Each structure stands twice: as structure tokens, then as C-alpha cells.
Structure 1
Amino acid sequence: MEKVADWQLKTPLQHQLTDWTNSALYKGMVEWAKIAKSPEYYNWLYNIGEKTNWQLGKRIYHADDHVVGLMYLEMYRKYHEKKMLKPTKKRLDWIMKNPSDASIKNFSYEKGNNCTDRWSWCDALFMGPTVWATLANVTGKKKYLNFMFKEYKATTDYLFDTNENLFYRDDRYFNMKEANGQKIFWGRGNGWVFAGLAIIMTELPDNYKERPYFEDIFKKMAAKLATLQDSSGYWHASLLDPKSYPAPETSATAFYVYGLAWGITNGLLDKETYLPVVQKGWQALVRAVHPDGKLGWVQPIGADPKQVTSDMTEVYGVGGFLLAGSEIYRILK
């Protein structure tokens, strides 16, 4: 983990500092910083917050521009500086008072379609609700959870396939099929949801009335995902058609390993059943690390399965790797 984290610190970030790509990295880096011996990782995150003035992205409603708030709230927990909290709280307060009336149906990136003002794609279930749940915990105000739950349920009712226990990326994929005739379930897309569930449930009060709802989805996904791991420990870009996408895909693998490890640590998943899956997955992730610390086999930015090579990397893959390793560390500890 230190090797991968250090490689990333030495590698200039290619996206805007408040971008969702970097924000996923920051969340993993925060969890690594909590167990690392050196303060340099917290220092790196603090400097990024100073550069962004602790602001979210510019799009008011878009979940991709909210997820950087995860890092800000974690830093607020550590340093208790109000500047780290205020912008995120201000944005979410405004949204709660002025909720979007956009439809989550008929997903499109075309100009004039405002479906992304709500969580209309499965990745958004990592980008948005995790911040709402964390803010609720930090402030002690359940109003954020109530808003989050309502929106989360709307998305899940629409995109979750109860036969496969997996999420469609968005409604464009409802009737599409892979080359083998199976439904299209994107590896990283479901990884976003699964990792997001672990983060959300970490923040939920034990007595929160809707907690069983999240636990149920998590357990169903975990059971399905465990059956889709290949013999070498990886998951693939397409969950139900790995033969068409035979290369490993480490961002999905990392998010699944993180979620499964979290489930074991928190008593939601049977250790005897799931620990071998976690161990095999972690060993696979480690094999994907280049000698210099670069994590390979990360599918580039997209919305559906694509081919991957060992030289491909991205910051969100590194974030997932650090999340996975940090949670496994807690099991071993």
C-alpha cells in the first residue's frame, strides 16, 4: 500500500482537483493515512484542500461534483477546522431546500437533459449518498439521512436487477446484451455501488430505521459477486461475460475486495465464506502493481465494459486499492 500511495504522490494529477476521479483517490488516501506511519499523506490531502478552498465542484446537483466532500469531511474530523466543513454543508443544505425535480429515467448526456441532477446512474450511488451519510454523522443531524435514503431508494428501485442482484449502469442498458446473450452489468459500475454501501453503512447509526435496507442490498450483492470472481482472483469489466473481456480489471476488483472485507469486519458477512474471496482478490491486486508502484489493469473512464491492458492506470483505481488494503489491515489487526 505504501508503495502504491507513494507512486501516486509522485505522479501529477491529470484531472481537476475537485473531480470525481481524484475524489475517489482521496477517500482511499484518507483511509491509508489513518494507518500510515508518516504524516505526509495527510499533509498531501490538506494541501489539496487548501488549493480548492475546500469547495465542491461547480455543478450544483451533480453527484460527481459532491464526492470530494468525503475527503473534506474526513479532514474536518481530524483537524476540526470549520473551513473544511462549511462549503459541503452549505451545498447540501441548499439542495435539500431546493431538491431537483429531474427524472432519473431516459438517461442521456445530451445538452438540455438534466437527469444527472439526480442519481440516475449507478456510479452516483458512490459519489452522492456517501457524502450525505458522512455529513449526517459529522453534524449529528438525521435530516441528511432522510434525504439521502429517499433518493437512494428511488435509484435502486429503478436500476437494481432483483434477479441478478446487480445494478444496471443506467437505463440505456436495460435491453442491451453482451456477446454471450447475458445482460450488461459493468464491473466498476457495480464496484461503485458496493464500495459506496460500505461507506454509507460505516456512517449510519446502528439504530437508524433504514439500516436494514442497505444491509439487505449489500448482502445480496456480496453473495452474487463472490460467484463471479475468476480463478486468478480478479473480476472483469463485464461481470456476466468475462470471456469477451478476459483481461483483469483492478478498479472493480479493488472495490469488491474493500466491500467484502468491510462486510467481514463489521459482521455482515461470514468470515469463513468470504475471507478466501478477499484474500484471493487482494493477492490478485498486488500482482497488478508494477515494480515502481503503479497499479495496472485499470479500465479508463467510461460507462460500460471496455478492454483493459496492464499499463492502464487511473487515480480511482489507486483509491480503490488503498480502500481495500486498509480494510484488510483491520481484519488482520
Structure 2
Amino acid sequence: MSYIHPPSHSSYAVYQGNIEETLRLIADRYIGSHPKHPFVYRASSLNGFKRSGDYRYELNMDVKLPGLRLGQFVYAWAKCWCEQESEWAFSVSCFGPTRLHVNGRQAFKSNIQEDVFPDRRSWFRIKLQQGWNHFVLQFEKTGTGCGACFGTGSIKGLPLHFIVPSTEREGQEGWIFTEGLDQELVELPGPDMSEADTGLEWLPNRAWTDNERAAGVFARLFGNQKGKSAWAWTKLTSAFPGERLIELEGDHQGPITICLDGMPVYESPETSGRFRISLPVTFGNHDLLVRSVCADESWGISFQPPAAGFQLKSPHEVLGSDDQWLYLGVFEPGDEPDLHDIPAMDTLFKTAEGEGGRYWRVDQPNTVVRPFAEATNFGRWNYPLGVTLYGLLKTGRELGRSDYVDYALSHIEQCTAYDGYALWDKAAYGAAGVNHQLSAIDSLDDCGSFAATMLYAMEQRELEGGRAVADRIAEYISHEQDRLEDGALYRVHGSTDFMQQTMWCDDLYMSTPFLSRYYKLTGNPAYVDDAALQFLLYKNYLFMPQEKIMSHVYDFKFNKPTSVPWGRGNGWVLFSLTELLAVLPEDHHRRSELMSFFNELCEGYLKLQGENGLWHQVLNVPESYEETSCTSMFLYAYARGLRYGWLKDQDPYIQAVLKGWEGLAKVSIDRSGNIYGVCRGSGYAFSPLYYKDELTWNLNDTHGIGIVMLAGIEVLKLQRKLQAGGKTAGLVEKQH
């Protein structure tokens, strides 16, 4: 295949195949393109629309506006960000006549069938511009209802959340909507418009009443909760060098305790009144916390602006709120979190009431703080990123680059630390804003790949929340994931209809590396026994004995394999088998059979290596394009097999590895560290033409970046072994 970069722009032209330099090139480009980004915190109104488990917004206007009259119109307005011009998939289920305008143009209009089947989904694609895109939904009230479920058409790939578009609520998550209107709008709202500019009243209401303001901030947020407590948190900042005294003063309703940097500094002597305290404060930011107990219907605290040089500011930017404080409550006596644990954004504060927990709010009607994953890659949990981070971790260790290791560990821990919160967020609000796949596991794709890397990361250091995530995933794979009567993992459901009742060779990677590492973590042989069994069961269904390669999928709807040997699917099989063999006890009763299977597969793949050292998208169709991720996995497995002494005839595999790495360096990696020729995420088909012609490759696809790095590390280790002592007994090393 002809790739974009000319030979002179390949990594080989720069480094002549030098593996260390090539690995640094790839890792630096990836990290530079995806820097560490924290989650984004946004205000989210509980009086708006929830997302359901399929990540679509439930815009049921009959529920929000029970007084709607037949023939009235309701408008909902939101925006979403698109990093670059792209075509996105959307889905809608209509409760009545529905129109969607995107950036001022009609993008969807329901038909008479869609209007009367609210359970029916309609899928369509919209080309979005780079930057903000404004969405306006028009609903008409009829006898069938009013509104729609609307949102992403790709639950796993694009878990969209929308942003309130008006200037008054800039940054808040969700949609705003009108009351029922007797006439259609002549002009739709759009970019840079305020709510006032539209001449309409928009809901949900964002202002407190005079009575609510007079009752105090805790009363309007939490109501009359006599005897219960709540907390307020801000940052007190000093711009003065050294230490200066600051005077804090204000009013309180109900007894209060003020704490600075984890130490109580003031306790009110009476239930309500004025307070004034002087505190020594050093330069920089300090956590200022206020604990208050509800004594009567008036319950709150207010501070006067501090003197020049001092400032109160929100402890974390919450888009959609200009408040200086965050609020947490309520808690029963004796049920409060420890003072030192309170100033944190990654903590779900537990309660004894069985309600799940407490998290932060802002001083707006029924409005909570929620984190959202908005970086393209960093902080997200999905299976391609699992193998990407595995490559970065091993590259960092092999090259002595602690910055690579720290980057990968930070990404993984950002997910695990928020796991408890994400599960609660999903239960409370319908769909989690972070960890969307981890919080809603319904397939092996959602858990096994990333979690296997997580377990490897936990060998480097403890990860907050990591063990709880590992245990939950082990429970899912072992006891919840669908299996055939013989115990083989397979897919009963699937995110699309055609996936139902199928077995994919990919799923050996989505399960067995995790089971192997969980066995290492726990010492429980049941997990490694299950991993070993899966390979032999999958062999029964998918192995093509004449060619000694694997069919991509077995379809139980037709009770036959597809008999199409997709490259990356086969790569996952061999890659995962090496992960198992590296931890499988030498005396395991299935080791001999698995070792024979490994050698059979290696022999079959060896015959299909292409002229340039790469394997093809469809392994036995040389006219299909040279595919990078399967090539990398075969090199990884061959190099490991040589080092560990698993392969019977070493010479041809040594030549295959060296030829393959040179091919990757010339064809798949350019001088900037970009990776070419990685097949995008796949469906499946009984025809090889789907894989050859429709399943195209992407630039810098995360299905392949980490695997290329892992292949490089294994080839580098093999080279060192060959240089140190030849290719026989000297190759065998301690498995790890």
C-alpha cells in the first residue's frame, strides 16, 4: 500500500531502525499530543434533562411542562464542541413532531411514522464544524406527546454531553428550553446570543427568590434540616510575601466552625450573629472551610469581601458558576467526613443513610457540580487506550524514562480514583460524566484491556481505587459476562444488532490478559485456569487448521465461523497467548496443549508475512493493505517466544522479527513519530471485502500506538539476547 509519507520521511530514514530512538519518538509525540488534562467540572441543573443509560437526553416536554396545550411549540437549545470538522452519529426517538436545526440549518425532521412510535430509534449523521456547534430542537405538542430522546448515535465511541449555549449560563452542562409557545419561532437562537437577546424566557430557572436568599445559603440549598450539618469550601489566597494578618468578617445563621488548612480557627459562641476574626496567612492558596449546623429555618453564612491583596475564590473552576464557594451536605450527627478529607474533588462522601453519598453543589437552584471527561484521550477508559498505556509503561521502564511511566500512571489513576464517584453519578443522573465504559460495564471491551494494564500499573505503585476496580472486573468476567454451556465467553447482546450471538477472537485479549494478571495479584488459580480454558475453547470454534490461523468471528445465528482471518483479531490471539504463557505455571495441566497451539499459530502466521515485512489486513489476501497493529503483535509474540524458548525452530522467526521491525520503521512510522496503517475499530462480516475495502486505517489510531511500542521493546530485548549469547539456550530468560 502507498502510505502518505515518502521514504525519506520515515523513522528509518532518520534512525536506521534504532529502536530506542524510535520508541522515544513515538512516546514523545503521543504525550505531546495528549497532555495531562484533569476532568472538567461543570454546573449541572437537576431541573434540566437527564441522560439515560444510552447517553441520550430525555427531553420529555410533557413532564417538564405539564400545562402544554395541543398545537403549542417548545424549543430546546444547546451546543457541543467538535475538535475538528467531523461527521458524527446521532440518534433520536420522537414523542411527537420533531425538528433539529444545527448551526442554523435543518438537520432532521421526523416523519409521520417516527411521530407515533416513541420507542423507535432513528439514526442519522451530521457534519459538524470545528469549534462550537449550536443545536436547536423544535417540538410540537400533539396527542402522542411532546419532546424526544436525543443524543449520541455511538454510546461507546461518543458519549456526548451538551453545554448550555447562552451567555448568561456559559459553561453549564445540559439544555435550556422555552415554555409552550403558540407560534413557531421566526428566528432561532444561535452563537453569542444571550437569553435576553432572544426575547424569550428560558428554563430551568436560574435565580433564587427573595425569600430563598433571605433564608441563607444552606437553607436554600438543603432546606430545613435541623440538627444536620453542611460544609462550605473556598480558597483564601494571599498575594503578600511572607506572613500577613487578614480580617475575615461576616454573618451567620446557625452555629459555625471556620477551619483554615485543616485546623479550626473559629467557633461561634452563639447560634446566629456577626463574626470577625484575624488570622495570619502566608503567600499562596489556603483551604478555607466552614461547617454549619441547622438550628432553625434560617441557615447560612456570608463573608464580606476581604481586604486588597487577599481573595476568596472557588477551590476549583466550575464552569457555569461564578460562585466563590462550593457546598457539601447534609450529614447526620456523627456521620460527617474527616475534616482533612473534605477539600477534595475526587471523593464521593459516604453517608450512613443508604443514599449512596454526597458531592459538591453550587449556589444556584437545584444545581450540582459534576466532572466530565473532555480531553480526547487523557483520563478516558477504553480498550485501545489500555494497550496504548501498556506500551507507554513498558517503554518508560525499558528506557529509564520515569516521565513516561508517570504519565501513564496518572492517566490510569485519574480513572480509578473516580470510580466510586462515577458509579454514584450514573445511578443519580442516568449516565456518568467520567469513566463512561467502566461505570456501565456490559461487555468485555469495557473492562478487560484497560484493567489488564491497570494491574500491570499496580505492580509499579499503589493506585487509588485500583484494587476495588480490579475486584469488580474480575467478578464481571467470571460471573456476569455471558458464556456458552462449555464456559466459552461470547456476546449475547452487543451495542448493535449484528453483534448478537457471536464470538470474536478479539475477546481473548479483552479477557485473558486480565485474568492472567489477576491470578498474579491474588494467587487464585481459578483465574489462570479460566484463561487457559478460553484459548482451547476458542480454538474449537475459530481455528482454521489448514492455514493454522483464526477466523475473526463465529456467528451462532448461522452456527458457523466467518472464515475471514482479520489481521488484528489474529494479533490479539497471539499477543494474549504470550501474556498467559508468561505467567502459567510450568506444571499446569494445559500448558503443553497451549504451547502446541502457540507454535501452530506462529507457523501459520509466518507463512503469510509480506514482502516488506508486514502482514496484511486480511492475512491470506495479499492485495489487502499492510496493517501495522497485527504486524506489531506478531513481532511481539515471536520475539517473546524466542526469548522464552517457546519456539521450536528459531532461525526463521529471528529473520521474521528483524525484517518486520525494519518494515514498521520504514512503512508505519514517520520521522515525527506518527503511526500509519492501523485499522480502525471493526465490525465483522462473512466477506473479506469488508475488511479489505471498507475497514480502512487511521493515522495515529490508539489501537496500534501502544502495540508498536511493545513490539519495539520485545525486538530490542531479543537483539540484546542475540548479541549477548547466540540463539539457543542463551535466549531463554526468566519469564516476567
| TM surpasses 0.5 | yes
> Could you give the per-residue CA deviations for residues 159-214 of structure 1, whole angstroms, max 9, x where no partner exists?
122222111111249576xxxxxx52111110111111111111222222212222
- What is the DSSP-based 3-state SS (H/G/I as helix, E as strand, rest coil) of the residue aligned with 1:228? coil
Q: Which residue in the other structure is 2:457 paired with?
A: 75
Task: Report the Cα offset of residue 115 of structure 1.
Answer: 4.2
Task: Report the Cα offset of residue 251 of structure 1.
Answer: 0.8
Q: Distance in 2 between matches of 1:258 and 1:157?
A: 25
Q: Distance in 2 between matches of 1:8 and 1:211?
A: 37
Q: Distance in 2 between matches of 1:318 and 1:130?
A: 18
Check 1:86–1:197 CA distance in 2 against 1; reply closer, same or farther (3 A cut). same
Q: Which residue in the other structure is 2:28 paired with?
A: 6
Is the 8 Å Cα contact of residues 106 and 171 (structure 1) preserved in structure 2?
no
Map residues 3-152 of structure 1 onto 2, 5 A cutoff. Answer: 3-12=25-34, 14=376, 17-53=380-416, 57-60=438-441, 62-65=443-446, 66-81=448-463, 83-93=465-475, 95-98=477-480, 100-101=482-483, 104=490, 110-111=496-497, 115=501, 120-152=503-535
Moved more, 214-223 or 144-153: 144-153
Task: Report the Cα offset of residue 37 of structure 1.
Answer: 2.2
Q: Larger C-alpha radius of gyration, 1 or 2?
A: 2
> Could you give the per-residue CA deviations for residues 256-288 of structure 1, whole angstroms, max 9, x where no partner exists?
111111111110123322100000000011112
Task: Report the Cα offset of residue 332 of structure 1.
Answer: 2.1
Q: Does 1:295 find its partner at 2:675?
A: yes
Amino acid at match of 1:137: K
Is the 8 Å Cα contact of residues 159 and 169 (structure 1) preserved in structure 2?
yes
Q: Distance in 2 between matches of 1:310 and 1:108?
A: 23
> Could you give the per-residue CA deviations for residues 293-323 of structure 1, whole angstroms, max 9, x where no partner exists?
1111112111452358887331121111111
Q: Does 1:191 find its partner at 2:191?
A: no
Task: Report the Cα offset of residue 123 of structure 1.
Answer: 0.6
Check 1:231–1:331 CA distance in 2 against 1; reply closer, same or farther (3 A cut). same
Q: Distance in 2 between matches of 1:253 and 1:144?
A: 29
Q: Which residue in the other structure is 1:268 paired with?
A: 646
Q: Distance in 1 between matches of 2:498 and 2:571?
A: 29
Amino acid at match of 1:167: M
- What is the DSSP-based 3-state SS (H/G/I as helix, E as strand, rest coil) of the residue aligned with 1:293? coil
Check 1:49–1:311 CA distance in 2 against 1; reply closer, same or farther (3 A cut). closer
Q: Distance in 2 between matches of 1:152 and 1:275?
A: 25
Check 1:10–1:36 CA distance in 2 against 1; reply closer, same or farther (3 A cut). same
Q: Does 1:322 find its partner at 2:709?
A: yes
Q: Distance in 2 between matches of 1:105 and 1:75?
A: 28
Q: Distance in 2 between matches of 1:229 and 1:323?
A: 19
Map residues 148-163 of structure 1 onto 2, 5 A cutoff. Answer: 148-163=531-546
Q: Which residue in the other structure is 2:288 paired with?
A: none
Unmatched 5+ stretches in structure 1: 177-182
Q: Does 1:242 find its partner at 2:605?
A: no
**What value does the CA root-mean-square deviation take over the aligned residues?**
2.7
- What is the DSSP-based 3-state SS (H/G/I as helix, E as strand, rest coil) of the residue aligned with 1:203? coil
Q: Which residue in the other structure is 1:257 paired with?
A: 635
Q: Distance in 1 between matches of 2:620 and 2:493?
A: 23
Amino acid at match of 1:135: Y
Which has the higher relative contact order, 1 or 2, with Cα contacts under 8 A spaced 6 or more apart? Answer: 1
Q: Distance in 2 between matches of 1:95 and 1:185?
A: 26
Check 1:163–1:108 CA distance in 2 against 1; reply closer, same or farther (3 A cut). farther
Check 1:282–1:268 CA distance in 2 against 1; reply closer, same or farther (3 A cut). same
Amino acid at match of 1:266: Y
Is the 8 Å Cα contact of residues 67 and 128 (structure 1) preserved in structure 2?
yes
Q: Distance in 1 between matches of 2:573 and 2:493?
A: 18
Q: Distance in 1 between matches of 2:583 and 2:553?
A: 26
Is the 8 Å Cα contact of residues 508 and 534 (structure 2) preserved in structure 1?
no
Q: Distance in 2 between matches of 1:185 and 1:156?
A: 13
Is the 8 Å Cα contact of residues 679 and 697 (structure 2) preserved in structure 1?
no
Q: Distance in 2 between matches of 1:129 and 1:256?
A: 17
Is the 8 Å Cα contact of residues 132 and 144 (structure 1) preserved in structure 2?
yes
Is the 8 Å Cα contact of residues 122 and 159 (structure 1) preserved in structure 2?
yes
Q: Distance in 1 between matches of 2:493 and 2:566?
A: 16
Match of 1:306 among 687, 692, 699: 692
Task: Report the Cα offset of residue 101 of structure 1.
Answer: 4.5
Q: Which residue in the other structure is 2:594 paired with?
A: 214
Q: Distance in 1 between matches of 2:679 and 2:641?
A: 25
Check 1:303–1:278 CA distance in 2 against 1; reply closer, same or farther (3 A cut). farther
Q: Per residue, is there more strand in 1 or in 2? A: 2
Q: Does 1:203 find its partner at 2:583?
A: yes
- What is the DSSP-based 3-state SS (H/G/I as helix, E as strand, rest coil) of the residue aligned with 2:509? helix
Task: Report the Cα offset of residue 108 of structure 1.
Answer: 6.4
Amino acid at match of 1:90: R
Is the 8 Å Cα contact of residues 24 and 319 (structure 1) preserved in structure 2?
yes
Runs of 4+ off more than 6 Å: 105-108, 308-311
Moved more, 63-72 or 75-84: 75-84
- What is the DSSP-based 3-state SS (H/G/I as helix, E as strand, rest coil) of the residue aligned with 1:171? strand
Q: Distance in 2 between matches of 1:144 and 1:175?
A: 27
Amino acid at match of 1:37: G
Check 1:297–1:175 CA distance in 2 against 1; reply closer, same or farther (3 A cut). same
Q: Distance in 2 between matches of 1:311 and 1:115?
A: 29
Unmatched 5+ stretches in structure 2: 1-22, 35-374, 420-436, 685-690, 721-736
Is the 8 Å Cα contact of residues 194 and 221 (structure 1) preserved in structure 2?
yes
Amino acid at match of 1:280: K
Amino acid at match of 2:661: W
Task: Report the Cα offset of residue 126 of structure 1.
Answer: 1.0
Q: Distance in 2 between matches of 1:14 and 1:218?
A: 36
> Could you give the per-residue CA deviations for residues 25-77 of structure 1, whole angstroms, max 9, x where no partner exists?
12222221221222011111111122102657244452212211112111111
Identity of aligned residues (%): 21
Is the 8 Å Cα contact of residues 7 and 293 (structure 1) preserved in structure 2?
yes
